[in-house]
Amino acid sequence: WQPESKTKSAINKVLDTPEMLEMILARVDMRTLLTSAQRVCRNWVNLISKSPSIQKALFFTPIKDSEWGMEEKIPNPLLTETFPSIFPAKDRLDRYQFNFSKLTMTKDASTMARFVGQDASWRKMLVQQPPVSDIGLFHICDAMGGTSAGSSSIPADKKMQESGYDGLRMERLFELLLFSNLVQFLPYTRTRVYWSTEEPILHGESQNIDDEFHRIMSKFGLVLYTRDVIQCSYRLDPPSAAELIRREIISAYREHGLDVDFKRKDIEESKSEVRGVRA
């Protein structure tokens, strides 16, 4: 039994040494770090929350470009798994349509309640490392007079930044999709998020519109793309399944005391001036 006792003693010594424990935990997967690892003891909670390297690995603390040393930025893997229709995916068709139904949070009522809470950890997570600070907005409108496009941007949430959370956090990106009046779920509309980590994107529009899209893609690295068709006659369609899910999420926000009207207003008022381009 003596060798086993020595082994346990050595393990305990490692776990009781903050520097060594930090090195071990920094290699643990994100989900474990956010859940079971923090149930071990108070010392582990303190170490995880205060360790710069672990907080960077958890996408809570920004990694500086000078620290990165890699050309391609990395989308948050845990958020990619939890919000798959928002994050880049291989072999995604150009005409892909974003849909809230593919998000983990819409699985059932209890999952929804857990996700929409104001203190949910996903809200403060960076969407990628090194982080971006703004989201590009690109809207195409097809009308009788031809096709036109408008580009603008929206910055990271001001309150988050004032609280020390620099860079674009998931709450901002998600609530842009949830509350923006550009995002509609109608037969003649389209919405998706484009990432710089995806394959080169060719829309096949006019040169002016394609050039403008690639300009803001290059500038921001993350773009909310929306498109609609102006109908000649007004038609009142019943809410689509996708729109009903969005309304369900908004209702859950209200039930948990989140100020939906303020969030919607903040999204619209934070947008920069639109730069118009015609085909």
d(CA 14, CA 7): 11
pLDDT tens for residues 40-49?
Answer: 778 778 878 8
Residue 1 pLDDT level (bands cut at 50, 70, 90) = very low
Handedness of CA 49, 55, 61, 66 (dihedral sign): positive
Handedness of CA 275, 273, 200, 221 (dihedral sign): positive
Q: What share of the chain is helix, strand, coil (3-state, %, to 5)?
A: 45, 15, 40
Q: Peptide bond before 52: cis, by omega within 30 degrees of 0?
A: no
pLDDT tens for residues 198-228?
Answer: 766 666 678 889 899 999 999 999 999 999 9
Question: Quick one: what percent of the chain has pLDDT higher than 90?
Answer: 48
Residue 24 pLDDT level (bands cut at 50, 70, 90) = confident
**SS3 label, residue 48:** helix
Give the global pTM: 0.87
Taking a C-beta distance cutoff of 8 angstroms, is the pair 231, 143 a contact? no
Give the DSSP letter of residue 122: G
The residues facing 138 across adjacent strands are 151, 225
pLDDT tens for residues 174-197?
Answer: 999 999 999 999 888 899 999 988
Q: Where are the domains of the chain?
A: 1-58, 62-278
d(CA 199, CA 193): 13
Kindly tell me if the per-residue pLDDT of 5 is higher than 70.
no
Residue 120 pLDDT level (bands cut at 50, 70, 90) = very high
Residue 265 pLDDT level (bands cut at 50, 70, 90) = very high
Number of Cβ atoms within 10 Å of the Cβ of 1: 5
Kindly tell me if the per-residue pLDDT of 149 is higher than 70.
yes
Query: Which of 34-38, 96-100, 171-175, 275-279 has the highest mean predicted lDDT (pLDDT)?
Result: 171-175
**What is the pLDDT at residue 13?**
60
pLDDT tens for residues 73-102?
Answer: 899 999 999 999 999 887 777 778 899 998
